[in-house]
Amino acid sequence: MKRLSTIATLGIAIITGALGFATPASADLTFTLGQSNCCGSGPFATVFLDDISTGVVDVTVTLINPPSSGITNTGLTSFVFNNSVALTSSDVSGLTAGFAWATTIKGDGAGTFGYGFDCTVAGCGSGGNSPNPGPLEFTLTAAGLSSATFTANAVSGDKGGNYFGVDICYLADENGCTATGMTWTSKLPECTTDCGDQPPSAPEPASLALLAAGLIAAGVSRRTMRTRA
């Protein structure tokens, strides 16, 4: 039996990818915090999620200064987040000095969250008098964990639907913080690297399938012509 032409073989490969048989890559995601109960609209900070390996995610919280002059210790949880995977303090490594796993979570206007970190007196002082400029970094390791398991919190009344929150010092000057308060994001993240096998600019599966069908037809036609000759 004669083999299919190179063109037809390429068409089959494209169809295989279009139907989803290719192995998806991890997704590195960046969330931008642009909402607040204290300080108008941002952006105030970014949260970067980096899939290191299966079940291992690096998290980096970076303030945008101005307007955010530091992470504070005001009675709110300094950094809050949710995850569909159950987490404990033993799942945390590489935590930035001056921060500790929070046992009580208070997200204020951002809603209710399941997890967080407090900036300690050593890391942030008390109130807004010694804000920590960051970044806040840590690694989480747990079965089933990935960047995709970080989820928005539940909506209750006019609160919720948010992914992350950070308690900030707003526009500090020689007299201290102009304001302090929680900032958060309800917006979907931006995929920055390793965005999978079909980035936004790639053709949709249906388009790929049509292209592949044409390639296979061309390959079969060429084989038929050679047979007749």
- Give a yes or no: residue 38 inside a domain: yes
* pLDDT tens digits, one per residue of 91-106: 999 999 999 999 999 9
Work out the average pLDDT over 51-57.
Answer: 96
- Give a yes or no: residue 199 inside a domain: no
| Claim to verify: residue 11 and residue 40 sit in the same structural domain | no
- Give a yes or no: residue 119 inside a domain: yes
- Give a yes or no: residue 98 inside a domain: yes
How many domains would you assign to the chain?
A: 2
* pLDDT tens digits, one per residue of 27-45: 799 999 999 989 998 999 9
| Claim to verify: residue 113 and residue 147 sit in the same structural domain | yes
| Claim to verify: residue 183 and residue 213 sit in the same structural domain | no
- Give a yes or no: residue 202 inside a domain: no
| Claim to verify: residue 148 and residue 179 sit in the same structural domain | yes
> Which residue segment(s) compose the domain that 216 sits in?
1-25+208-229
| Claim to verify: residue 53 and residue 20 sit in the same structural domain | no
| Claim to verify: residue 121 and residue 149 sit in the same structural domain | yes
| Claim to verify: residue 130 and residue 189 sit in the same structural domain | yes
What is the pTM (predicted TM-score) of this model?
A: 0.74
- Give a yes or no: residue 34 inside a domain: yes
For 161, half-sphere exposure in the C-beta direction (CA atoms, 13 angstrom radius) is: 9
In the predicted model, what is the mean pLDDT of the chain?
80
| Claim to verify: residue 109 and residue 161 sit in the same structural domain | yes
What angle do the packed helices 205-228 and 6-18 form, to 10 degrees?
160
| Claim to verify: residue 175 and residue 150 sit in the same structural domain | yes
Work out the average pLDDT over 11-21.
Answer: 41
Query: Would you place residue 78 in the very low, low, confident or very high pLDDT band (cuts 50, 70, 90)?
Result: very high
Query: Would you place residue 194 in the very low, low, confident or very high pLDDT band (cuts 50, 70, 90)?
Result: low
The tokens describing 210, both together, are 């049509």
Render the chain in DSSP notation, one character per residue: -PPPPHHHHHHHHHHHHHTT-SPPPP-EEEEEE-EESSS-S---EEEEEEEEETTEEEEEEEE-TTTEEEEEESSS-SEEE--SS---GGGEESPPTTEEE-SS---GGG---SEEEEEPHHHH-SEEEEEE---EEEEEE-TT--GGG--PPPPBTTB---SEEEEEEES-BTTB-SEEEEEEE-SPPEEEE---SS-TTSPPHHHHHHHHHHHHHHHHHHHHHHHH-
Cα 2 from Cα 69, distance rounded (Å): 70
- Give a yes or no: residue 201 inside a domain: no
Query: Residue 196's pLDDT is what?
Result: 56
| Claim to verify: residue 45 and residue 59 sit in the same structural domain | yes
pLDDT tops 50 at residue 125: yes
| Claim to verify: residue 156 and residue 226 sit in the same structural domain | no
| Claim to verify: residue 17 and residue 56 sit in the same structural domain | no
- Give a yes or no: residue 36 inside a domain: yes
Render 81-92 in DSSP notation, one character per residue: E--SS---GGGE
